[in-house]
Chain A
Amino acid sequence: MIEASVAAAAVLAPAIGSELTLRGRKLQTSVARVVAVWVVGYVAAATWLLREGRAGLVAFAILWCGAFLLWFGVRSHIESSILLRMLCLLRERPMTDAQLAAAYASRYGESMRLAELRRGGLVAVDRRGGARVTPKGRIVLLVASKLQ
Protein backbone atom coordinates (compact mmCIF):
# COMPACT_ATOMS: atom_id res chain seq x y z
CA MET A 1 0.00 0.00 0.00
CA ILE A 2 2.91 2.33 0.75
CA GLU A 3 4.30 1.68 -2.72
CA ALA A 4 0.95 2.60 -4.28
CA SER A 5 0.83 5.81 -2.23
CA VAL A 6 4.37 6.74 -3.23
CA ALA A 7 3.54 6.00 -6.86
CA ALA A 8 0.42 8.19 -6.70
CA ALA A 9 2.38 11.03 -5.10
CA ALA A 10 5.13 10.64 -7.68
CA VAL A 11 2.70 11.30 -10.54
CA LEU A 12 0.60 13.95 -8.80
CA ALA A 13 3.60 16.04 -7.75
CA PRO A 14 5.04 16.32 -11.31
CA ALA A 15 1.57 17.12 -12.68
CA ILE A 16 1.29 20.04 -10.25
CA GLY A 17 4.95 20.94 -10.75
CA SER A 18 4.42 21.04 -14.52
CA GLU A 19 1.63 23.57 -14.13
CA LEU A 20 3.85 25.71 -11.93
CA THR A 21 6.58 25.44 -14.55
CA LEU A 22 4.26 26.28 -17.43
CA ARG A 23 2.59 29.22 -15.61
CA GLY A 24 -0.11 29.44 -18.26
CA ARG A 25 2.22 29.01 -21.23
CA LYS A 26 1.45 26.51 -23.96
CA LEU A 27 2.90 23.05 -23.50
CA GLN A 28 4.63 23.15 -26.89
CA THR A 29 6.77 26.09 -25.73
CA SER A 30 8.17 24.28 -22.67
CA VAL A 31 8.18 20.54 -23.41
CA ALA A 32 11.79 20.04 -22.27
CA ARG A 33 11.18 21.74 -18.89
CA VAL A 34 8.01 19.72 -18.31
CA VAL A 35 9.75 16.45 -19.13
CA ALA A 36 12.52 17.44 -16.70
CA VAL A 37 9.96 17.96 -13.93
CA TRP A 38 8.45 14.54 -14.57
CA VAL A 39 11.86 12.87 -14.67
CA VAL A 40 12.73 14.41 -11.30
CA GLY A 41 9.51 12.95 -9.88
CA TYR A 42 10.33 9.54 -11.29
CA VAL A 43 13.92 9.53 -10.03
CA ALA A 44 12.82 10.62 -6.54
CA ALA A 45 10.22 7.87 -6.25
CA ALA A 46 12.43 5.21 -7.84
CA THR A 47 15.28 6.12 -5.46
CA TRP A 48 12.95 5.75 -2.49
CA LEU A 49 11.70 2.38 -3.71
CA LEU A 50 15.28 1.12 -4.18
CA ARG A 51 16.57 2.44 -0.86
CA GLU A 52 13.67 0.95 1.06
CA GLY A 53 14.17 -2.34 -0.72
CA ARG A 54 10.58 -2.28 -1.94
CA ALA A 55 9.47 -4.18 -4.99
CA GLY A 56 7.37 -2.61 -7.70
CA LEU A 57 9.91 -0.60 -9.65
CA VAL A 58 8.60 -1.92 -12.97
CA ALA A 59 4.99 -1.32 -11.94
CA PHE A 60 5.87 2.21 -10.95
CA ALA A 61 7.70 2.84 -14.24
CA ILE A 62 4.60 1.73 -16.16
CA LEU A 63 2.36 3.95 -14.02
CA TRP A 64 4.71 6.89 -14.47
CA CYS A 65 4.81 6.49 -18.27
CA GLY A 66 1.03 6.12 -18.41
CA ALA A 67 0.43 9.11 -16.14
CA PHE A 68 2.78 11.28 -18.18
CA LEU A 69 1.09 10.30 -21.44
CA LEU A 70 -2.36 10.94 -19.99
CA TRP A 71 -1.37 14.30 -18.51
CA PHE A 72 0.35 15.31 -21.76
CA GLY A 73 -2.69 14.34 -23.85
CA VAL A 74 -5.26 16.01 -21.60
CA ARG A 75 -3.20 19.19 -21.10
CA SER A 76 -2.48 19.53 -24.83
CA HIS A 77 -6.10 18.91 -25.71
CA ILE A 78 -7.50 21.41 -23.22
CA GLU A 79 -5.16 24.17 -24.31
CA SER A 80 -5.54 23.71 -28.07
CA SER A 81 -9.02 22.30 -28.70
CA ILE A 82 -11.06 24.55 -30.97
CA LEU A 83 -14.24 22.71 -30.03
CA LEU A 84 -13.78 23.40 -26.31
CA ARG A 85 -13.02 27.07 -26.96
CA MET A 86 -16.18 27.36 -29.03
CA LEU A 87 -18.25 25.79 -26.27
CA CYS A 88 -16.97 28.46 -23.89
CA LEU A 89 -17.79 31.17 -26.43
CA LEU A 90 -21.33 29.83 -26.75
CA ARG A 91 -21.73 30.06 -22.99
CA GLU A 92 -21.81 33.84 -23.45
CA ARG A 93 -24.72 33.82 -25.93
CA PRO A 94 -26.11 31.85 -28.88
CA MET A 95 -24.33 32.59 -32.16
CA THR A 96 -24.77 31.74 -35.82
CA ASP A 97 -22.06 29.69 -37.54
CA ALA A 98 -20.52 32.84 -39.02
CA GLN A 99 -20.61 34.74 -35.72
CA LEU A 100 -19.03 31.84 -33.88
CA ALA A 101 -16.28 31.40 -36.48
CA ALA A 102 -15.60 35.16 -36.40
CA ALA A 103 -15.55 35.27 -32.59
CA TYR A 104 -13.14 32.34 -32.49
CA ALA A 105 -10.89 33.78 -35.20
CA SER A 106 -10.71 37.17 -33.49
CA ARG A 107 -9.59 35.67 -30.16
CA TYR A 108 -7.72 32.50 -31.08
CA GLY A 109 -7.29 32.71 -34.87
CA GLU A 110 -4.51 31.87 -37.30
CA SER A 111 -2.26 34.75 -36.21
CA MET A 112 -2.46 33.54 -32.59
CA ARG A 113 -1.63 29.99 -33.64
CA LEU A 114 1.33 31.22 -35.70
CA ALA A 115 2.55 33.26 -32.74
CA GLU A 116 2.36 30.14 -30.56
CA LEU A 117 4.36 28.18 -33.14
CA ARG A 118 6.94 30.98 -33.13
CA ARG A 119 7.15 30.98 -29.31
CA GLY A 120 7.61 27.21 -29.44
CA GLY A 121 10.51 27.66 -31.87
CA LEU A 122 8.72 25.71 -34.59
CA VAL A 123 8.33 28.64 -36.99
CA ALA A 124 10.60 31.63 -37.62
CA VAL A 125 9.89 34.83 -39.50
CA ASP A 126 12.51 35.96 -42.03
CA ARG A 127 13.57 39.54 -42.84
CA ARG A 128 10.83 39.95 -45.41
CA GLY A 129 8.18 38.90 -42.90
CA GLY A 130 7.62 35.46 -44.39
CA ALA A 131 7.17 32.50 -42.07
CA ARG A 132 9.37 29.42 -42.41
CA VAL A 133 9.56 26.16 -40.49
CA THR A 134 12.63 25.81 -38.25
CA PRO A 135 14.69 22.57 -37.97
CA LYS A 136 12.81 21.86 -34.71
CA GLY A 137 9.51 22.31 -36.55
CA ARG A 138 10.68 19.95 -39.30
CA ILE A 139 11.44 17.28 -36.70
CA VAL A 140 7.91 17.68 -35.29
CA LEU A 141 6.46 17.36 -38.80
CA LEU A 142 8.62 14.32 -39.53
CA VAL A 143 7.61 12.54 -36.31
CA ALA A 144 3.96 13.42 -36.85
CA SER A 145 4.04 12.14 -40.44
CA LYS A 146 5.47 8.81 -39.23
CA LEU A 147 2.68 8.44 -36.67
CA GLN A 148 -0.31 9.74 -38.61
Chain B
Amino acid sequence: MEWYGIAGAALLGLSFYLARRVPSFLASGAAVVAGFVAATRGRGADRAPEWYVTTAGLLAAFAGLLIVRLMLMRSVSLRLLGRVDRGAGRGFDDDIGIRVREMRVFGLARRTHRGNALTPLGRAVAGVVAPLYRALRIDR
Protein backbone atom coordinates (compact mmCIF):
# COMPACT_ATOMS: atom_id res chain seq x y z
CA MET B 1 0.00 0.00 0.00
CA GLU B 2 2.91 2.36 0.73
CA TRP B 3 4.06 2.33 -2.86
CA TYR B 4 0.56 3.00 -4.14
CA GLY B 5 0.35 5.95 -1.74
CA ILE B 6 3.72 7.33 -2.83
CA ALA B 7 2.78 6.88 -6.48
CA GLY B 8 -0.56 8.61 -5.86
CA ALA B 9 1.11 11.60 -4.20
CA ALA B 10 3.69 11.84 -6.98
CA LEU B 11 1.00 11.63 -9.67
CA LEU B 12 -1.01 14.37 -7.92
CA GLY B 13 2.07 16.60 -7.98
CA LEU B 14 2.66 15.78 -11.65
CA SER B 15 -0.99 16.51 -12.47
CA PHE B 16 -0.72 19.87 -10.72
CA TYR B 17 2.34 20.74 -12.79
CA LEU B 18 0.99 19.55 -16.13
CA ALA B 19 -2.73 20.40 -15.87
CA ARG B 20 -2.74 24.20 -15.87
CA ARG B 21 -6.52 24.59 -16.16
CA VAL B 22 -8.89 23.86 -13.30
CA PRO B 23 -11.17 21.38 -15.16
CA SER B 24 -8.21 19.32 -16.38
CA PHE B 25 -6.63 19.28 -12.91
CA LEU B 26 -9.98 18.34 -11.37
CA ALA B 27 -10.28 15.40 -13.78
CA SER B 28 -6.71 14.17 -13.45
CA GLY B 29 -6.58 14.60 -9.67
CA ALA B 30 -9.88 12.81 -9.17
CA ALA B 31 -8.64 10.00 -11.41
CA VAL B 32 -5.48 9.63 -9.30
CA VAL B 33 -7.40 9.44 -6.00
CA ALA B 34 -10.01 7.09 -7.49
CA GLY B 35 -7.20 4.96 -8.90
CA PHE B 36 -5.57 4.67 -5.48
CA VAL B 37 -8.88 3.74 -3.84
CA ALA B 38 -9.70 1.14 -6.50
CA ALA B 39 -6.23 -0.42 -6.37
CA THR B 40 -5.92 -0.67 -2.59
CA ARG B 41 -9.44 -1.07 -1.18
CA GLY B 42 -9.90 -4.29 0.75
CA ARG B 43 -6.18 -5.10 1.08
CA GLY B 44 -6.27 -6.55 4.57
CA ALA B 45 -8.53 -5.40 7.40
CA ASP B 46 -5.49 -5.01 9.67
CA ARG B 47 -4.24 -2.17 7.46
CA ALA B 48 -7.53 -0.30 7.38
CA PRO B 49 -6.29 2.65 9.54
CA GLU B 50 -3.29 3.09 7.24
CA TRP B 51 -5.58 3.02 4.21
CA TYR B 52 -7.89 5.67 5.70
CA VAL B 53 -4.94 7.90 6.63
CA THR B 54 -3.39 7.61 3.17
CA THR B 55 -6.71 8.23 1.40
CA ALA B 56 -7.42 11.24 3.62
CA GLY B 57 -3.94 12.56 2.86
CA LEU B 58 -4.40 12.22 -0.90
CA LEU B 59 -7.83 13.88 -0.75
CA ALA B 60 -6.44 16.74 1.35
CA ALA B 61 -3.49 17.19 -1.03
CA PHE B 62 -5.86 17.20 -4.00
CA ALA B 63 -8.11 19.85 -2.41
CA GLY B 64 -5.12 21.94 -1.29
CA LEU B 65 -3.49 21.85 -4.72
CA LEU B 66 -6.82 22.79 -6.31
CA ILE B 67 -7.03 25.92 -4.13
CA VAL B 68 -3.38 26.75 -4.90
CA ARG B 69 -4.09 26.34 -8.64
CA LEU B 70 -7.04 28.75 -8.34
CA MET B 71 -4.91 31.25 -6.41
CA LEU B 72 -2.12 31.08 -8.99
CA MET B 73 -4.67 31.95 -11.67
CA ARG B 74 -6.56 34.65 -9.76
CA SER B 75 -4.23 36.15 -7.14
CA VAL B 76 -4.44 39.94 -7.23
CA SER B 77 -1.32 40.28 -5.05
CA LEU B 78 0.66 38.14 -7.48
CA ARG B 79 -0.50 40.28 -10.39
CA LEU B 80 0.35 43.42 -8.43
CA LEU B 81 3.83 42.03 -7.74
CA GLY B 82 4.23 41.34 -11.46
CA ARG B 83 3.12 44.88 -12.33
CA VAL B 84 5.62 46.37 -9.86
CA ASP B 85 8.35 44.22 -11.43
CA ARG B 86 7.45 45.36 -14.94
CA GLY B 87 6.92 48.95 -13.86
CA ALA B 88 3.47 48.68 -15.43
CA GLY B 89 0.54 50.97 -14.69
CA ARG B 90 -2.39 50.36 -12.44
CA GLY B 91 -4.71 47.44 -13.00
CA PHE B 92 -5.95 46.85 -9.49
CA ASP B 93 -9.30 48.55 -10.08
CA ASP B 94 -9.98 46.26 -13.04
CA ASP B 95 -9.43 43.21 -10.79
CA ILE B 96 -11.90 44.63 -8.25
CA GLY B 97 -14.52 45.25 -10.93
CA ILE B 98 -14.20 41.66 -12.16
CA ARG B 99 -14.84 40.32 -8.63
CA VAL B 100 -17.96 42.45 -8.24
CA ARG B 101 -19.41 40.88 -11.38
CA GLU B 102 -18.31 37.40 -10.29
CA MET B 103 -20.40 37.63 -7.13
CA ARG B 104 -23.51 37.78 -9.29
CA VAL B 105 -22.25 35.13 -11.72
CA PHE B 106 -21.62 32.72 -8.82
CA GLY B 107 -25.07 33.42 -7.38
CA LEU B 108 -23.69 35.07 -4.22
CA ALA B 109 -25.32 38.44 -4.87
CA ARG B 110 -28.16 39.80 -7.00
CA ARG B 111 -29.14 43.21 -8.26
CA THR B 112 -31.93 44.99 -6.38
CA HIS B 113 -33.28 48.54 -6.59
CA ARG B 114 -30.87 49.43 -3.73
CA GLY B 115 -27.85 47.86 -5.42
CA ASN B 116 -26.19 44.47 -4.97
CA ALA B 117 -27.67 42.40 -2.15
CA LEU B 118 -26.61 38.99 -0.86
CA THR B 119 -28.55 35.94 -1.98
CA PRO B 120 -29.27 33.21 0.62
CA LEU B 121 -26.12 31.42 -0.63
CA GLY B 122 -24.10 34.63 -0.27
CA ARG B 123 -25.47 35.19 3.23
CA ALA B 124 -24.55 31.60 4.17
CA VAL B 125 -20.99 31.96 2.87
CA ALA B 126 -20.56 35.36 4.52
CA GLY B 127 -21.99 33.90 7.73
CA VAL B 128 -19.19 31.33 7.75
CA VAL B 129 -16.40 33.65 6.65
CA ALA B 130 -17.06 36.60 8.99
CA PRO B 131 -16.54 34.54 12.20
CA LEU B 132 -13.45 32.97 10.60
CA TYR B 133 -11.95 36.42 10.08
CA ARG B 134 -12.50 37.14 13.76
CA ALA B 135 -11.29 33.71 14.93
CA LEU B 136 -8.12 33.92 12.84
CA ARG B 137 -7.73 37.59 13.81
CA ILE B 138 -7.40 38.50 10.12
CA ASP B 139 -9.83 41.40 10.18
CA ARG B 140 -7.94 43.65 12.57
A residues neighboring B (CB under 8 Å) = 1, 3-4, 7, 19, 22-24, 28, 55-56, 58-60, 62-80, 82-84, 86-88, 90-91, 93-97, 99-101, 104-105, 109-110, 113-114, 116-117, 122-123, 131-133, 137-138, 140-141, 144, 147-148
Q: How many A-B residue pairs have CB under 8 A?
A: 212
Residues of the A chain whose Cβ atoms lie less than 8 Å from the Cβ of B116: 90, 94-97, 100
Main secondary structure of the interface of A (DSSP, over half): helix
In the bound complex, do residue B63 and residue A91 qualify as a contact, i.e. CB atoms below 8 Å apart? no
In the bound complex, do residue A105 and residue B64 qualify as a contact, i.e. CB atoms below 8 Å apart? no
A-B pairs with lowest CB-CB distance, top 10: A69-B64, A73-B67, A66-B60, A24-B137, A63-B57, A66-B61, A62-B57, A70-B64, A66-B57, A96-B115
In the assembly, what is the distance between CA of A117 and CA of B116, in Å? 31
Residues of the B chain whose Cβ atoms lie less than 8 Å from the Cβ of A147: 16-17, 72
Which bracket fits the contact residues of B?
Answer: 35 or more
Known: A65-B57, A66-B64, A87-B125. 9 other contacts (CB 8 A): A4-B49, A23-B137, A70-B60, A73-B64, A83-B106, A91-B130, A105-B93, A114-B84, A148-B20
In the bound complex, do residue A76 and residue B71 qualify as a contact, i.e. CB atoms below 8 Å apart? yes
Residue on B with the closest CB to A26?
A: B138
Is B59 an interface position by the 8 A CB rule?
yes
Residues of the A chain whose Cβ atoms lie less than 8 Å from the Cβ of B39: none
Q: Pick 27 A–B contacts, CB within 8 A, sort by A.
A: A3-B49, A55-B50, A59-B2, A62-B61, A63-B57, A64-B57, A65-B57, A65-B61, A66-B57, A66-B64, A69-B60, A69-B65, A71-B64, A73-B64, A78-B133, A79-B136, A83-B106, A87-B126, A90-B122, A94-B116, A97-B101, A100-B100, A100-B116, A101-B96, A113-B76, A137-B81, A141-B78
